[in-house]
Amino acid sequence: MIQQMEGGTAAAPVPNPLSDLSSPLTPPVTSDPPPSPYPRPSASPFISEDQFGCHCCYDVLVNPTTLSCGHSFCRHCLALWWESSRKTECPECREKWEGFPKVNILLRDAVERLFSEVVGRRRAEIQGNPKVSQSLLAFQRYGDQAARGIPKTSPGRGAGGFFSGVLTALTCVAVMFLVYHWSSGDGVHDLLVSKPVSKWTPEEVLFWLEHVGAWTSLYKEPFLQENVNGRLLLMLGDEELTRAPYNIDNQAHRRAVLAELERIKELGVKPPQNLWEYKAVNAGKSLFLLYALKSSPRLTILYLYLFDYSETFLPFLHTCCPALSRTSEPMEDSLLLNHQVHPSWRQWAEFLVKYLLLPYQLIAEFAWDWLSVHYWTSRFIIVNAMLLSVLEGCVLWRFYNRAEIRSLPQKMWGHLWRMSSQGFAFALFWPVIPQFVCNCLFYWALYFNPIINIDLVVQQLMHPDTQGP
């Protein structure tokens, strides 16, 4: 063997893997992959809060909820957006989400580990805000309804297919009623409220006499035989009405006719005695009252007390809170004198209680007194007043339920400022608005608002937690 090693070439020894592993000089065998030909990017050690921010509140995400479009928001921000906008869409890209959004657990855990202090502080603020808690509760109830398969109705889009059909039918009835009213000629009658008394024809004198009272039918024949026109009417007095051919022997009837004569002599035209005549004389004022009584009845009644006490406020008060009249007093005398005297303390007390607690009841009682004159119009007003009372009660209940009673004075001040600015704009642009547009607005507010308020009341009763204050 020694000779072979010295003289010949020796065979290469077989390596022992165990000896290689035991040798400290030999590097261990590893199974690392071959190096990639592309450079590997290095991770940035800086992570900021902006990278995990909500695009609604611009703060660190709390319970991040990812929508189907890929955008993530705080869950309470998404609930507030859904409650205020009444839309199931992304606040950023406006794409509608599918199903009910859920919390992104992976993103939530990552944000809580990275920014634990900020997330803890924000959770405490959210739990201490009753409005946010109420919104989250309403949002979760909406999700529970969607999970149970209950048909989802948007809070601002009606209360269901059946009720939408009922509203459509009522709208058609209201349109047919308005068409009938305009086509019958009642709305385009030659109103005497704008025509001087001296130019009245005998037919217009009889028309005026009919509006004095139903009892004037006993005396229409003498006026027709004498062919009394406007000029002759102004010459009549107590002596002429007592003697032939008029022969008005009833003292109360004669006093009523003389009182109306004094009024038309003073005004020069016929004073308005119904809704249509009042609108023809005071078009802007009637439209203002119609809209303002719906939005802010207390402010409107206060306005009448301050600026239209004798003409509008006193008749309104005496009609809603009538005085205790004596049974022996003739009805005509009470009608003539009732709206001219100052209210008693009992009337004022009753009026103030209704004014503070149930202002719409005052409007309903006033309309009830006119049922015999304008039956359907009074019915519409009464129904609308009832619906508005329910809506006002729902608003107060939401304030109490959400513990926002303390914010009520602030909201009332904002409402006062909004109503004042709208009234100023109304008075500024009223002279340039065409009469046709004013008539359309008037009839819409009078006949169509009750139909809209029915839908609002049903929404309030079916979705009490999803309505804004």
Please report which helix (H) or strand (E) contains residue 64, including its range: strand 64-66
What's residue 353's pLDDT? Answer: 92
Q: In the chain, where are the structural domains located?
A: 52-147, 196-267, 275-462
- CA Rg, the chain, in Å? 40
Convert 75-110 into a string of H (helix), E (strand) and C (coil): HHHHHHHHHHHCCCECCCCCCECCCCCEECHHHHHH
What type of residue is 82?
A: W
Are residues 264 and 270 in contact, defined by beta-carbon separation less than 8 angstroms? yes
187 pLDDT more than 50: no
Q: Distance between CA 177 and CA 374 in Å, rounded?
A: 13
Are residues 56 and 81 in contact, defined by beta-carbon separation less than 8 angstroms? yes
Confidence of residue 173 (pLDDT cuts 50, 70, 90): low
Q: Regarding beta strands 64-66 and 102-103, do their DSSP bridges make them parallel or antiparallel, or are they unpaired?
A: antiparallel
126 pLDDT more than 60: yes
Name the residue with higher pLDDT: 62 or 172. 62
What's residue 335's pLDDT? Answer: 43
127 pLDDT more than 50: yes
Q: Which of 352, 369, 363, 356 is nearest to 386 (CA)?
A: 363
| Helices and strands (DSSP H and E) totals, the chain | 23, 3
Confidence of residue 468 (pLDDT cuts 50, 70, 90): very low
Q: Distance between CA 188 and CA 439 in Å, rounded?
A: 12
What's residue 166's pLDDT? Answer: 63
What's residue 6's pLDDT? Answer: 42
DSSP-derived secondary structure letter, 50: G
Q: What is the CATH number of domain 196-267?
A: 1.10.150.50
Question: CATH for 52-147, among 3.40.50.740, 1.25.40.80, 3.30.40.10, 3.40.50.720?
Answer: 3.30.40.10
Omega before 196 within 30 of 0, i.e. cis: no
Q: Which of 142-151, 237-246, 282-291 has the lowest mean pLDDT?
A: 142-151
Q: What is the largest CA-CA distance in the chain?
A: 176
Work out the average pLDDT over 71-79. 88
Sorted by sequence, the CB contacts under 8 Å of residue 135 that are 6+ apart come out as 76, 79, 80, 83
| pLDDT, the chain, mean | 74
Q: Which of 111-120, 170-179, 254-263 has the lowest mean pLDDT?
A: 170-179
DSSP-derived secondary structure letter, 53: B
Q: Which two tokens stand for residue 444?
A: 């819409």
Work out the average pLDDT over 220-248. 85
Q: Which of 168-177, 357-366, 387-396, 434-443 has the lowest mean pLDDT?
A: 168-177
Confidence of residue 440 (pLDDT cuts 50, 70, 90): confident
Is pTM beyond 0.85? Reply is no
Q: Which of 59, 50, 54 is nearest to 71 (CA)?
A: 54
Are residues 122 and 192 in contact, defined by beta-carbon separation less than 8 angstroms? no
Q: Distance between CA 363 and CA 319 in Å, rounded?
A: 10
314 pLDDT more than 80: yes
What's residue 338's pLDDT? Answer: 47
Coil, strand or helix at 150: coil
Sheet with 72-74, side-by-side order of all strands: 72-74, 64-66, 102-103
Strand partners, 64: 74
